[in-house]
Chain A
């Protein structure tokens, strides 16, 4: 089973700064099967990125995803106040068929 490890656990930044969140897989993951979600307190997760680098519908272009193999990155180019939340990466495994989430990165206001 593939394990996803996100770093850092908590990231403290100010609005306007650039955020770089990491997701490392214990073995190679198809880029097609790597997604990122944002979750705010009391809300359901929201899809941001799929296929490692494709933005979901309605997601601002300050959010971007990159990476391949075992190392993936979510970048928020200039933080807006509404971007402070918890972010999860997720992969789909085809054998056995399952989904795995990283433990999350909390992005907090500095």
Chain B
């Protein structure tokens, strides 16, 4: 089955760190660009970060630049998000999402998400 499964969310204090993982299965992970997208409780979707298939190109939203690091391990079919200096406004469900086509740049496969709560 083609799927993405996130893990690693939880409760963390402001200023703390957390590492999210996304396990891919059912498709050739190394052929696709991947992204993290988050959704604060009751709010809309916000793109967080993007990484190309070979990790050559990495991009971040301004809101997380310098604090979050995206990476991937194609041998393990896994995507990661290292989150440091966490703030209350980082509280959200974090989804990993696959770029289905590098011409149209849409997200065609999403995980179910993992909840990150930043609170003292």
Contact = CB atoms under 8 A, between A and B. Distances in A.
> Are chains A and B native binding partners rather than an unrelated pairing?
yes
A53 B19 CA distance: 37
Contact of A44 (B59, B95, B101): B95
A45 B110 CA distance: 7
| Binding site secondary structure of chain A | strand
B111 A44 contact: yes
Contacts of A51: 104, 106
Nearest to B35: A99
- Please tell me the size bucket of the interface on B: 20 to 34
B101 A50 contact: yes
A44 B113 contact: yes
A75 to B, nearest CB: 18
A96 to B, nearest CB: 7
Interface of B: 35, 37, 44-47, 50, 57, 59, 61, 95, 100-101, 103-108, 110-113
**What are the nearest 7 A-B pairs in CB distance?**
A92-B105, A44-B110, A99-B47, A35-B106, A50-B106, A101-B45, A97-B59
